[in-house]
């Protein structure tokens, strides 16, 4: 074990260069802090290489396929010749590659960031070791990310795959079973259905996307039925057998399901094992790193960000946490991040987007003193042009601000920016109703929902 080069002590030593880690590094560099950024895999982490970006590229290809299938209803005669997964993957990998190259350029251009490739381990409260070299930091930021989880006794291999393998398939499965009806599960189910596969989702909880407002979950289920995406909710997995033709999945209620592949999409686990966290006294809970609202672990000057911190496992959450920690270390005293104010988008078709409290959460927080309204996209001109159905649901405290925005429909993820401003700035319905929303846009639906909640509906019934 040797000291870091020239016995240098960095202001920040960051273990992990995913969304949280690289954001902390870049922001710290802007603040003239010295940084050692350590990564065993690739700069950009899961989000860029095995998560957000490649899956959304697949979803866009799926949208193009759907558009061709439905083109005649728009007066465009076209024929669908099939899916060329080689070209789809080339397109996907090209998007990832260009973003990866750009990110590498940003880190390289920051003269006070040393990028270190290798497996790092926390060996002291102020040091991380990589291949026998110790990098000391006045502050340590743990940002080691997550991995695809599985269930006890359910081994990954062969025709039983996770999202990592799903992104690398060079053919479209004729049929697929998706274990898990959360974000990852419904996105893959949506892609494969658009590509022509027969898809069945198995979800143990009562609804698809169970973390969303129940109204959104039920609306997504209706939409999936219309798309002929099969699903069994309230159904617990029992076991799986593989054969030459595919998999046979059994559930605890005695039912069996057959398909070419089984995608295990039961969430992501924190990548913390064997990294020295517990040995240095970092507080842990089920593999996650516990922090206070300032993202400090309570041990030395050790912080943690991203998927290893309990809460929403979202790239933009980790990104913002990375910025927050850099500013905290620099003494800027940034405002603490409010978890409920982080926007959430599921990019299946139709899209699901939300921010703030669900109706049930609002009732827990405020009792019965809440009001809700739903504006149906049938009354929105642009949604009619896009031939999408869905709604915008607003939840407010009675005589108070809007505390939740929930949407379902094609492209509604693009509306979440205004939704998060409404919630995080504690806007009242009248505040939003007085804003001018461009016509015809789907964005008008937020204004229309606010008009209705303010007691003056225009294109909706009160």
Residue 460: its pLDDT value, please?
74
Q: State which residues form the domain around 441.
A: 350-453
- Token digits for 389? 């159905």
Whether 396 and 413 have beta carbons less than 8 Å apart is answered as no
Residue 461: its pLDDT value, please?
56
Residue 459: its pLDDT value, please?
81
DSSP, collapsed to helix, strand or coil, labels residue 421 as: helix
* Closest to 377 (Cα-Cα) out of 338, 403, 340, 351: 351
What gap in Å lies between CA 64 and CA 41, rounded to an integer?
32
Torsion of CA 406, 304, 274, 120, to 10 degrees: 120
Residue 77: its pLDDT value, please?
95
Residue 252: its pLDDT value, please?
96
Terminus-to-terminus CA distance in the chain, angstroms? 71
DSSP letter for each residue of 148-182: E---TT---BTTEE-HHHHTT-SS--SEEEEE--S
Question: Does 443 fall in a domain?
Answer: yes
Given the residues 49, 60, 296, 439, the one annotated as active site:
439
Is 447 found in the same domain as 374?
A: yes
Question: Does 153 fall in a domain?
Answer: no
Question: Does 154 fall in a domain?
Answer: no
Question: Does 116 fall in a domain?
Answer: yes
- Look up 439 and say whether it is catalytic: yes
Last residue of a domain, one of 238, 266, 294: 266
- Helices 214-226 and 359-366 cross at an angle (nearest 10°) of 170
Q: What is the mean pLDDT of each run of 10 residues along the chain (462 residues)?
A: 61 98 98 97 95 96 96 95 96 97 97 96 97 97 97 95 96 97 98 98 98 98 98 97 95 96 97 97 97 97 98 96 98 96 97 98 95 96 96 96 98 97 97 96 96 88 52
Question: Does 178 fall in a domain?
Answer: yes
Question: Does 54 fall in a domain?
Answer: yes
Indicate the number of domains in the chain: 3
What gap in Å lies between CA 401 and CA 135, rounded to an integer?
48
Residues found in the chain: 462
Is 276 found in the same domain as 236?
A: no
What gap in Å lies between CA 257 and CA 197, rounded to an integer?
15
Question: How much is the pTM?
Answer: 0.95
Is 205 found in the same domain as 76?
A: no
Last residue of a domain, one of 305, 339, 373: 339
Is 254 found in the same domain as 122?
A: no
Is 377 found in the same domain as 228?
A: no
Is 275 found in the same domain as 134?
A: yes
Distances (CA, A) of 75 to 68, 131, 390: 11, 62, 23
Question: Does 355 fall in a domain?
Answer: yes
Question: Does 335 fall in a domain?
Answer: yes
Name 69's Cβ contacts closer than 8 Å, sequence gap at least 6: 80
- 256 CB burial (10 A radius; 0-12, 13-18, 19+): exposed
Residue 462: its pLDDT value, please?
47
Whether 234 and 217 have beta carbons less than 8 Å apart is answered as no
Is 176 found in the same domain as 107?
A: no
- DSSP structure class, residue 306: G
Name 430's Cβ contacts closer than 8 Å, sequence gap at least 6: 450, 454
Last residue of a domain, one of 297, 319, 339: 339
Is 75 found in the same domain as 39?
A: yes
Domain holding 92: CATH number? 3.50.50.60
């Amino acid at each position: 074990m040797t000291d870091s080069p020239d016995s240098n002590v960095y202001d920040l030593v960051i273990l992990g260069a995913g969304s949280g880690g690289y954001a902390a590094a870049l922001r710290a560099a802007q603040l003239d802090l010295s940084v050692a950024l350590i990564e065993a895999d690739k700069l950009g982490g899961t989000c860029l290489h095995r998560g957000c970006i490649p899956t959304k590229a697949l979803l866009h290809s799926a949208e193009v396929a759907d558009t061709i299938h439905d083109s005649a209803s728009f007066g465009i005669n076209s024929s669908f010749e099939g899916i060329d997964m080689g070209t789809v993957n080339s397109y996907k990998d090209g998007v990832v590659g260009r973003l990866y190259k750009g990110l590498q350029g940003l880190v390289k251009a920051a003269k006070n960031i040393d990028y270190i490739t290798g497996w790092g381990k926390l060996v002291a409260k102020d040091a991380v070791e990589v291949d026998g070299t110790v990098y000391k930091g006045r502050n340590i930021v743990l940002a080691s990310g997550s991995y695809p989880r599985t269930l006890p006794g359910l081994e990954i291999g062969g025709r039983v795959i996770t999202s990592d393998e799903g992104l690398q398939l060079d053919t479209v499965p004729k049929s697929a079973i998706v274990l898990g009806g959360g974000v990852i599960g419904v996105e893959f189910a949506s892609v494969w259905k658009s590509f022509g596969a027969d898809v069945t989702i198995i979800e143990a909880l009562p609804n698809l996307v169970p973390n969303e407002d129940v109204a959104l979950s039920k609306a997504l289920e209706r939409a999936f039925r219309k798309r002929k995406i099969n699903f069994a909710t309230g159904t617990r997995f029992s076991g799986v057998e593989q054969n030459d033709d595919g998999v046979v999945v059994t559930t605890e209620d005695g039912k069996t399901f057959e398909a070419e592949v089984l995608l295990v999409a039961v969430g992501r686990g924190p990548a913390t094992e064997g990294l020295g966290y517990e040995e240095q006294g970092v507080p842990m809970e089920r593999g996650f790193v516990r922090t206070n609202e300032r993202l400090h672990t309570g041990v030395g000057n050790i912080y943690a960000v991203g998927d290893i911190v309990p809460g929403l496992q979202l790239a933009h959450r980790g990104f913002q946490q990375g910025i927050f920690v850099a500013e905290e270390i620099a003494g800027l005293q940034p405002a603490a991040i409010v978890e409920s104010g982080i926007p959430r988008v599921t990019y299946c078709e139709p899209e699901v987007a939300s921010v703030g409290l669900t109706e049930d959460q609002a009732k827990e927080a405020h009792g019965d003193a809440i009001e809700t309204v739903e504006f149906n996209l049938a009354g929105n001109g642009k949604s009619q042009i896009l031939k999408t159905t869905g709604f915008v649901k607003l939840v407010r405290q009675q005589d108070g601000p809007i505390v939740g925005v929930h949407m379902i429909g094609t492209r509604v993820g693009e509306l979440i920016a205004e939704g998060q401003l409404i919630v995080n700035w504690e806007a009242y319905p009248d505040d939003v109703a007085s804003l001018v929303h461009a016509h015809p846009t789907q964005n008008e639906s937020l204004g229309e929902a606010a008009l209705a909640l303010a007691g003056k509906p225009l294109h909706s019934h009160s």
